[in-house]
Amino acid sequence: MLRITVPRIAALVALALMVGYTFVLAPRLSRGHDQDPYGFAGAAPTAMPTWLTSALAAPPTAAPTTATPGASAVPAPTPAPAPQFPPAGEAFTGIMTKTGPYDLSPLDEFTSAVKHQPNVLEFSVGWWDRKFDRRIFDTVAQRGIMPMVAWEPWDYRKEAKEDKLRGEQPEYALSNIIDGKFDDYIRTWAEGVKGLGYPVALRFAHEMNGYWYPWAEQANGNKKGQYVQAWKHVHDLFKQVGATKVTWVWSPNVDYENATGLNTLYPGDDYVDWIGLSGYYGTTGVEKYKSFDQIFQPTIKELRDFTQKPVVITETGATDTSGLKAQWISEMFTQLPQHPDIIGVIWYEARKEVDWRVAASDAASQAYAAGVSAPRYSTPWTVRSVPALTTAPPPPAPSPTPDPSPSPSASPSATKPNPPARKPTSTATRPRSSSTPAG
């Protein structure tokens, strides 16, 4: 039998301390420093920021229960359903700025000028950065604004100055995306988006029907059909990772002469949630005044030949060169309710080639403030919101006013039908989209 001695007791105590450090303390320290790059060191791996935990908590609603004789009935609370964004018949407003979440002063200036906080902030992130930064999303979401990322597979810093060569970056050819050369990076983003805990919109490889980006089929040695293959490949990687709180925004430029046909670039309704469109009054080719309807309606009509997905105007703006910006904005808000399939409009609030900013003009700010004050733009976005995936039916046509003294010879079969509408020819060319440094 072993005798209990001081050295033996000391050895046992030392062994217990080593076991406790190895199996209890060390793993916690490792999780805090090595697996938490977003500033929450020391928290459990599944921990969320305090503001997000509170915001995600669904307010309970009382649910009636069946009382048994002689027992007091206590209603069982049930979680409130997640709000749809935007609700049926309503629309959201947003802005896109050059600085995005890295500098929110343009957002604050816009909000102050129009007396309304946008529901969406769109910003660009290029693939050259090769990292996912949660902070830029939280910065936006914490304000009650939905983040929408224009996720661009290129390096904007190497954009050629010659217009025809702007889309030439062989590293970012569609074939490289399809063949998996960016899979590790894509999965990093998918994991990051999954870990956010709230929905975001991903506007991947936009304006693909043009020639000015490396992912366009008209550029960079890309071939017909490769855009759809690349889109599906990226989408499928997100699905494999379990990143399901993503609103996929397929976003061409408004149709123009020599653009790639939209139906050949569409991945299919199973791969798209929202249709996005870019269109401006005042870019090259549309110096002549064109209303909101004149710019967008021909392309929306074309889209309806192959999809009924909701439409978001992901980039728009108007120049004030002719002093008509305020008029254009007023017309936009007048015409929007006539398009129940347009569920959102994002203004390009920046200076690029011309000054598109609303906040730069008192008249434009007042016109925007008056239009956005309508109740249909009042629904906020929250981290619990779910995207609207269908649109409200169009409003019923007004009943014709009967003629109080019809001609005796008139009859329904004698009514002359309206001639078919002639499809307008779009002369709009592409705007210059924002390409913002990703950090």
Pair of tokens at residue 38: 């977003």
In a domain, 356, yes or no: yes
In a domain, 165, yes or no: yes
In a domain, 1, yes or no: no
Q: Which of 224, 223, 228, 184 is nearest to 205 (CA)?
A: 228
Q: Note the pLDDT of residue 428.
A: 35
Return the CATH number at 208: 3.20.20.80
In a domain, 99, yes or no: yes
Same-domain pairing of 347 and 235 = yes
Same-domain pairing of 99 and 194 = yes
Same-domain pairing of 22 and 91 = no
- Give per-residue pLDDT as tens, 156-215: 999 999 988 999 999 999 999 999 999 999 999 999 999 999 999 999 999 999 999 999
Contact 355, 320 (CB under 8 A): yes
- Give per-residue pLDDT as tens, 64-112: 555 555 555 566 666 678 889 999 999 999 999 999 999 999 999 999 9
Q: Which of 385, 401, 415 is nearest to 200 (CA)?
A: 385
Pair of tokens at residue 374: 């309508």
Q: Note the pLDDT of residue 403.
A: 41
Within 10 angstroms of residue 180's Cβ, the number of other Cβ atoms is 11
Extract long-range pairs of 191-194: CB within 8 Å, 24+ residues apart: 191/132, 191/241, 191/243, 192/132, 192/134, 193/132, 193/238, 193/243, 193/245, 193/246, 194/241, 194/242, 194/243, 194/244, 194/245
The three-class DSSP label of residue 358 is: coil
Contact 113, 120 (CB under 8 A): no
Same-domain pairing of 35 and 105 = no
Same-domain pairing of 138 and 239 = yes
Contact 255, 304 (CB under 8 A): no
In a domain, 414, yes or no: no
Same-domain pairing of 18 and 154 = no
d(CA 436, CA 156) in angstroms, rounded, equals 8
Task: Tell me the β-bridge partners of 78.
Answer: 61
Q: Note the pLDDT of residue 321.
A: 85
Amino acid, res. 45: P
Q: Of 366, 387, 408, which residue constitutes the final position of a domain?
A: 387
d(CA 417, CA 430) in angstroms, rounded, equals 37
Q: Note the pLDDT of residue 395.
A: 53
Pair of tokens at residue 251: 């976003």
Same-domain pairing of 253 and 325 = yes
Task: Tell me the β-bridge partners of 351.
Answer: 355
Same-domain pairing of 14 and 130 = no
Q: Of 387, 411, 429, which residue constitutes the final position of a domain?
A: 387
Same-domain pairing of 29 and 170 = no
Check: pTM over 0.85? Answer yes or no.
no
Q: Of 368, 387, 406, which residue constitutes the final position of a domain?
A: 387
Q: Note the pLDDT of residue 412.
A: 28
Within 10 angstroms of residue 268's Cβ, the number of other Cβ atoms is 12
In a domain, 425, yes or no: no
* Total number of domains constituting the chain: 2
Beta strands in 127-262 (DSSP E): 146-152, 200-204, 246-250
Q: Note the pLDDT of residue 26.
A: 41
Q: Note the pLDDT of residue 274.
A: 98
Contact 63, 75 (CB under 8 A): yes
Q: Note the pLDDT of residue 36.
A: 32
In a domain, 416, yes or no: no
Question: Which DSSP symbol is given to 210?
Answer: S
- Domain coverage including residue 32: 9-41
Same-domain pairing of 229 and 374 = yes
Can you list the residues of the chain whose pLDDT is less than 70? 1-48, 54, 58-79, 284-286, 392-439
In a domain, 290, yes or no: yes
Specify whether the backbone of 215 is left (phi greater than 0), alpha (psi in -120 to 50) or beta. Answer: alpha
Same-domain pairing of 37 and 96 = no
Same-domain pairing of 134 and 27 = no
